Amino acid sequence: MLASARVTLKHHRFEVLATILAALGLAAACLWLNSQLLAVNARPDCFREWMDGPDSASRECATAVRAFSDILFSNMSWIDPGMAILPFVVGIFIGVPVVARELETRTAQTAWSLSPSRTRWLANQIWPLVLVAGTAICIASIASSMLHATRINAFPPQIFEGLGFHGPLVAARALAAFGLAMLIGAVVGRSLPAVVLAAVVCLFAVLFVPTYARDAWARTQPSQLFEWSDPTPRITFDDFYRTPSGGFISLGEALSLVPEESADNPYAWMLENGYISFSRGITAETASQWEPLEVAGTLVAGVLLVGATTPVVNRRRPTA
């Protein structure tokens, strides 16, 4: 088994080495930035003072917060995008050649004939790559989680902000991208078209699927009404207005009541006449339950995609 793993890693040495360098490079960048932020030694109360008003913060706190912010925002513009695309680049780069390269170079027939079964051959191809690339991705996700913990202590993010930039979801997305790329590579049989197609599908999936899934899930959770001045962190779905009599009307109905002479500033008119803005939604505490569900769903999708490659390989002609 170890001998087979060495052969697999040697066969894919370029992809493996590039994966390790990319993942560990980003991990090192996260750890370096985290150390720079911690070295500023900005106290938590300094950030609270700053949020209350920069002019009211002490000189010591203002200096620390400015230094922290300058370091953070000058580097996150490339670290966050790097962590966002890393799992997909790694998954596609590693996954496509597993089957597609054998078909493209016409070595599949020889490789499959030397193995007791195509399923066992595929398993022997997969586990060394997943082990090595997965370890590198996990290191990067842990390092990015450490950085994220330092950031949120200073500047709490908006709800769902930063999902996919740190933590288990990075590794889960890498597995899903790997399974998808390997499946597409087995179907298409050529590396370059498979890479392009896998990239397009991954882009569509990450832009649309999680967004619609989160929204659909959030709407199934117990919701409540929030007054517009309520500072509770939340996600809102619909806007309402409470009338002076205590009833609720939609935003459109409220706007229709505004007289023509106040049309330039309808919201001021509604406020002056006792119409109070409310929104329906869920709290940040409820929304925090989504991330483990997305991680679990992405992992399940990755496993299913990897498993779906097996029947394709078993029925595939050994030529592209």
pLDDT digits (tens, 9 = 90+) for 46-58: 777 667 666 666 7
Mean pLDDT score of the chain: 87
Closest listed residue to residue 19, CA positions, set 135, 97, 100: 135
Give the pLDDT band (50/70/90) at residue 175: very high
Q: Residue 280 carries which DSSP code?
A: E
Contact 109, 289 (CB under 8 A): no
- Give the model's pLDDT for residue 55: 64
- Give the model's pLDDT for residue 227: 82
The answer for residues whose C-beta is within 8 angstroms of residue 159's C-beta and 6 or more apart is 233, 234, 235, 284, 287
Residues 231-256 as b/e (b if ≥16 CB within 10 A, e otherwise) read: eeebbeeeebbbbeeeeeeeeeebee
- Give the model's pLDDT for residue 64: 81
Give the pLDDT band (50/70/90) at residue 267: confident
Q: Residue 156 carries which DSSP code?
A: P
Mean pLDDT is lowest, of 26-40, 89-103, 166-180, 260-274, for 260-274
Q: Report CA Rg, the chain.
A: 26
The predicted model scores a pTM of 0.85
- Measure the CA–CA gap between 140 and 171, rounded to whole angstroms: 9
What residue spans define the domains of the chain? Answer: 2-221+289-315, 224-282
Question: For the segment 61-71, what is each residue's pLDDT rounded down to a tens digit?
Answer: 778 888 888 88
Contact 175, 91 (CB under 8 A): yes
Q: Is 312 exposed, middle or buried (0-12, 13-18, 19+ CB in 10 A)?
A: middle
